[in-house]
Structure 1
Amino acid sequence: MSSGNMQLYAEVSSMRLSYLRARDPSIINFNAPRLPLPVNLENRYSDDDNNKIDKEAEEEEERSDHLSVFLRIKNGVPFKDLYEIDGCNLVCNSPEGSYSTRNMKVGNQLKKIYTFTKIFGPEDRQVDVFNYMVKPKVLRFINGQNSTLFTYGVSGSGKTFTIVGTADEPGIIPRALEYIFRTIKGVGFKDDIKPLPAQQVRQMSKEEVLNASRDKATLLNASFLDKHFHAEQYRKMQQSLIDEPVAHLEVASDVYVSIWVSFAEIYNEYIYDLLQLPQKNKEKPKLRLGCTKYGTYIKQLTSINVQSGVEAYQILQFGINNLKYASTALNCHSSRSHSIFTIKMVQWKKNSDVCISTINFCDLAGSERLKKTGNVGDRLKESNNINISLLVLGRCIENIRAGQKMNQMKSKPIPFRESKLTRLFQNALMGFEDMNIIININPSLGMFDESQHALNFAAIAQQIISIEKPIRMVRNRFSEMLQKQDGPTAVQLRSVSDEEFDRIQNELQRIQDQNIELQLQMNQMQAEHYEEIQSTVDEATVRFRNIWENRIKQVKERAEYDLQALRQQYEEKIREMQEDVIEISSDEEPDERDNMLKDAENCVKDLQTQVRQLQNENELLCIRILELEEKEAKLEEQLLAYHQTLPLLADTDISNENSEDEGGTY
């Protein structure tokens, strides 16, 4: 045995190790080998100042990619002893007796600092919130990007005021509607292009467009909706915003847009359509969620095409009227559901694809504590569902934050499917869409603990990293059909050389000039054909009128002649009979006179009978004359109708000639 092996054997023997029986367990892991810890020499020996600068740059870059979370403090409540605003930081001084100081010694004070993208204090107005937070999102929406905005906070903290506002202080939704329609002013509208859930579009038929217009008119003219009041309030808002600047677009004649709005609510974990007329003694239909590879959507949700801001505002007010509200100890007009107002814009340009963008405004119901609200019965059930939904939302955001920090999204299961709200906005919560959250707090002392929950939620949410996605241009059967109708695609047009472009432009100018010349010739031919047809119709009218007038005149003359002849004949007979009666009365015997008088009377009766028959015949002739006059009037009406159709006949002849000419040309 060599010396080295002998030394190793001696060391092992001195340690009394056994290879047949394991060593005794020890909590200090005695005799276990320890690996040396790795040391990053770069961090130890590099320049501290450079590291500090690099770290700040990395933090700033990360902060720019993080979710934007804003804070708004409710006006009218003093808060200097509880909260301090230091730029974008909010310093919270926990009061005695609060939940956060329950384990602290008496007299100690706890301070917490929360950082936000921006803090809107009580002195900030609605216009300040919109210009800083919402206007950039609306511009992204017009440029084809999707955006989502949440309002989160305790019941009575001012969420609905921020998102909807009042008549005198309109919120971010009415201002966004006005900004959108003022920005796209001058762009052509198309009401027959409807967006579909799976980022697709469909061209509607004329009947479908008509039905959609009827549905919109039904909502705008609903009995419980004061149409004139809301329209007047919107015009009042327009006057107050007339000096507000808007974006200026380079409007092209071949660009069209179609804007659709929808309004839904999630109440007790059921989804309802707010743009449906309420029916007596019938429960609202519950809607279900559907899934595509592009995200989750609400099935059978009503979408209304709007072409002005006032129409969209009236639709918004219709949906607000259908929202679930109730009175609680914290808020006399508390929203009992999550409301989601969605605006979709379809942008279509000839010879290009279709772009669909969406902006969602989600007003979350306020979180509540039972001992503060005192809810029972239905209010208690609503509070439980609201709190569960917000709890799932918080868990999703916390797990997403943890997964992004570990660079593996599957590190923790994200409970999206435990709530309808989180399923619907899964893409936005994952950071795949632009999303903003505005936290509303009531700075009163009694709401401090509830506000702390909202602030903790904001602290977690702000650490989520947004992943920018490029604008997706939709290519489907509809866009391909439009391209086949209108010409080459945009990619093909970009590949054309300058010489080819000049040649095509010159050819286009030549065709336009030729088109103008042909249009002048067509107008001249149309005028000549019209004059020729007009003269022919006038001659035919005069000829027919003369024929019927002559026939009527002949019938009248013949009837008068026959009547006059009969009158003369009977008058002559009566005169002769009177003379015979006189002669008989002077010459004959009484008996003979009586007989002759009887004969004369009989003859007179016969004559009277004949006169009545002639009168009847005369009446029949008069009726015949009236029938002829009626036929003449109908004929004149037919001639007038024929006269009115002459321009159409002329256009038809000209179009036929043009088609024959085109057929001969090609």
Structure 2
Amino acid sequence: MPNPVDPEKREVRSFLVSRDPSIDRRYRPCPERQVALFQNLEEEEEDEDDQASDDSVSVASTVAEQEGALIYLRMRPLPNETPCTSYRILGNVLVTSQLDNSGNTVKNQMEKHFTFSEIFDNAIDQHAIYEKCIRNKIELEESFTIFTYGTSGSGKTHTLLGDLDKPGIIPRAIENVFTLYASNLYPQPAAKVVNAVVTILDDESMRKEMLLRQTIISACNDVQSVYNRVQQKIASEHGFSTTVLENNSVIIWVSFVEIYNELVYDLLSPIAPSATTRRQSHKIVSNDGKVFIKDLTSVHAKMASDAYKLLTFGLQKVKYASTAINSNSSRSHCIFFLDIIKFSHPGTFTLTSYKFCDLAGSERLSKTGNVGNRLKEAQRINTSLMVLGRCLDAANNNQKKKNADVIPFRESKLTMLLQSALLGKEKLCMVVNINPSDKYFEENMKVLGFASIAKNIVFKQPISKTERSARYSWFVVHAAQDKRSTAAEDTSQLDALLEENFTLRNEIESLTAKVSRLEKALSQQEYDLRNQLVNNFQKSLEHRNRAWEDRLATEIEMVKQRYENKIEALKAEHARDLEDLNEEEGQPKKRRATLGD
């Protein structure tokens, strides 16, 4: 490197004789615009002073406002014979470098580092993943959205659903939620989230919701033994505790949707499509900052087994197909909703919403070999995942700008449903799944790049629980009727009255149905008797007709025989008369002959 040149003694160079590149940066012209370098620092110091002076803002809330998305990485176990030389784990950092056959780094392939909230290697089981990712959020009653992301066959569905021996995140979350609120679960569907607003239901609406629950749950009675096995497994691995909330009632609702080919389908609809009809798609509505699915079926879950049966009922309708990578590949995005309505007796509803999203795997045609319908499905899946990446990228860029750009939520049904989490209104948790085989290195690099964008997002908007005051709540009216009784006694009395009301309504409905069946049976019996009388009358007429025909034929034969006898008698009489005439005519001839002789 040449010696640095004194700026005062530097010689003038022309464009024909350029400066040495190593010192060129020293002589570049400085911009005329002056920038106050310490202005932002002073503003931050002022903000910190103001925040420290305000006693109502706690340190915990300040940290929560700046908290970003939690991005976890899970690596799928590989067979012993499968090589894995491209990935190294250093704490919470994944180091990737593609190696050639000789063990050297591939040319033009730099070593890359990806930071995660935590990395789960092959030795981590389902129990540890749930404990580190979800349990704390449920016990803190924070609304969150969790989705699994990765290539096809990387273990996303296994992480979220699991199997009988290794239950996934959703079955464990169901047990955790129902155990947490076990002492405060309200047995009747008194309140429901309708169009993203908590609404109190009247008696008729409650009766319909109970009948809907019984209809769907009764169709899944064979799942009870499976649930018992899963529950025992979860209970042996977790020690979920019950929180007693005084003067509070909790109502839990379950919904389940599928986004297939950019159409939203209700997986809990009790109406099964026939061979001649298609499934009805639903519209996503965004109203006043709230997003909901129009006419979506929500089912009241009284216990954990109900929620598990509803999950199983919906999974039977999910689209699966076989590809070259995965023999049972999901062809759609599935979102399982748990809405928890907590009512406090002063008259306030609090809504906590949990969304569990199982994203379809990103695919490359060269690896899957999809054609026909599978190819169209893969194109729609990749497009929706690309829009999700654009939304995360826009959210990441907006935190660096004063004038935020519009995040393209409306370009995909998936991002429309997940926009609350992408805007920071809910906790966002993502479990990235990769298949650490060397042959999927390029696909995994795209997945890791997607995860790195999400990891850099910091949500500055505070997360608040949705609350609504109930002005004319029948809960409050009932509590005011007997102030001397305790809240537990009021709740038990109300439960008994509602149960009796429900029983009487069911009895009335069963009696009405019985009367209707009897009327229908009597009508059918009357119809059968009328038909029998008509048939008997017709048979009698036919019998009489045949008798008259036989009698008439007999009389005709008798008359015919009588007339034939008369004809024969007349013929015989005429023959005798003719003979007599012939004899009379012959005697004169003989006499004339005699006289002639």
Q: TM-score band, normalised by the shorter chain? A: 0.5 to 0.7
Aligned to 2:399, what secondary structure does the other structure show? helix
In structure 2, what residue type is equivalent to 1:414?
A: I
Corresponding position: 1:265 with 2:269: no
Aligned to 2:445: 452
2:173 aligned partner, one-letter code? A
- Among residues 165, 175, 179, which one is paired with 1:178 in the alignment? 175
Does residue 1:146 correspond to 2:124, yes or no? no
Identity over aligned residues, as a percent?
34
* 2:69 counterpart (67, 70, 93): 67
Preserved contact between residue 146 and residue 356 of structure 2 (Cα < 8 Å): yes
Instruction: Measure the CA separation in 1 of the matches of 2:64 and 2:215.
Output: 49
Q: CA deviation at 1:292?
A: 1.9
SS of the counterpart of 1:257? strand
- 1:471 aligned onto 2:500: no
Which of 230, 243, 252 in structure 2 is aligned with 1:237?
Answer: 230
Question: How far 1:347 moved relative to its partner?
Answer: 0.7
Cα distance, 1:484 vs. partner? 5.7
Stretches of 4+ aligned residues off by more than 6 angstroms: 60-64
Corresponding letter in the other structure for 1:137 = K
After superposition, where does 1:584-603 map in structure 2 within 5 Å?
A: none
- Encode CA deviations 1:3-34: one digit per residue, 9 max, x unaligned: xxxxxxxxxxxxxxxxxxxxxxxxxxxxx996
Residue aligning to 2:124 = 124
1:91 to 87, 90, 95: 95
1:169 lines up with 2:171 in the alignment = no
Kept in 2: contact 1:290–1:298 (CA 8 A) = yes
Alpha carbons of 1:286 and 1:76: their partners in 2 closer, same or farther (altered >3 Å)?
Answer: same
With over 3 angstroms needed to count, the CA separation of the structure-2 counterparts of 1:391 and 1:220, relative to structure 1, is same
Matches within 5 A, 1:115-514: 115-140=115-140, 143=141, 145-222=142-219, 225=220, 227-228=221-222, 230-243=223-236, 244-252=238-246, 254-276=247-269, 277-281=271-275, 282-410=277-405, 413-466=406-459, 467-479=461-473, 482-483=475-476, 486=479
The Cα of 1:213 is off from its aligned counterpart by 2.3
Deviations 1:395-434 (A, max 9, x none): 1110110011224323xx3211110111111121111211
Question: One-letter code of the match for 1:232?
Answer: S
- Structure 1 gaps of 5+ residues are 1-31, 44-59, 98-103, 489-506, 513-666
Deviation at 1:275, TM superposition (A): 0.8
Deviation of 1:508 (Å): 7.1
Q: Relative to structure 2, which stretch is displaced further, 112-121 or 69-78? A: 69-78
Shift, 1:80, TM fit = 4.4
TM-score, scaled relative to structure 2: 0.67
Given the superposition, is the C-alpha separation of residues 201 and 441 from structure 1 closer, same or farther in structure 2, using an over 3 Å criterion? same
- Give the AA of the match of 1:470: S
Q: Please give the alpha-carbon distance, in whole angstroms, between the structure 1 residues aligned to 2:347 and 2:428.
A: 28
Shift of 1:139: 1.8
**What is aligned with 2:577?**
none
Question: Residues 255 and 37 from structure 1, CA distance in 2 versus in 1: closer, same or farther, beyond 3 angstroms?
Answer: closer
* Paired amino acid for 2:431: I
CA distance in 2 between partners of 1:201 and 1:105 (Å)? 58
1:192/1:79 CA distance change after superposition, 3 Å: same
Q: Residue 66 and residue 41 in structure 1: after superposition, are their counterparts in 2 closer, same or farther (change >3 A)? A: closer
Once the two structures are superposed, what CA deviation does each residue of 1:302-322 show, in whole Å capped at 9, x if it has no partner?
Answer: 000011111110110110010
TM-score by length of 1: 0.60
Letter in 1 for 2:170: I
Contact persistence 1:351–1:482 (CA under 8 A): no
Q: SS state of the match for residue 346, structure 2? A: coil
- 8 Å contact kept, 1:340–1:361: yes
Q: Relative contact order, CA 8 A, sep 6+: which one is greater?
A: 2
- Mapped partners of 1:357, 1:347: distance in 2: 8
Instruction: Name which one, 1 or 2, has greater alpha-carbon Rg.
Output: 1
**Distance in 2 (alpha carbons) for counterparts of 1:365 and 1:447:** 17
Q: CA RMSD in A?
A: 3.1
Q: What CA distance in whole angstroms lies between the structure 2 residues aligned with 1:485 and 1:62? A: 38
Q: 1: CA distance between counterparts of 2:438 and 2:472?
A: 58
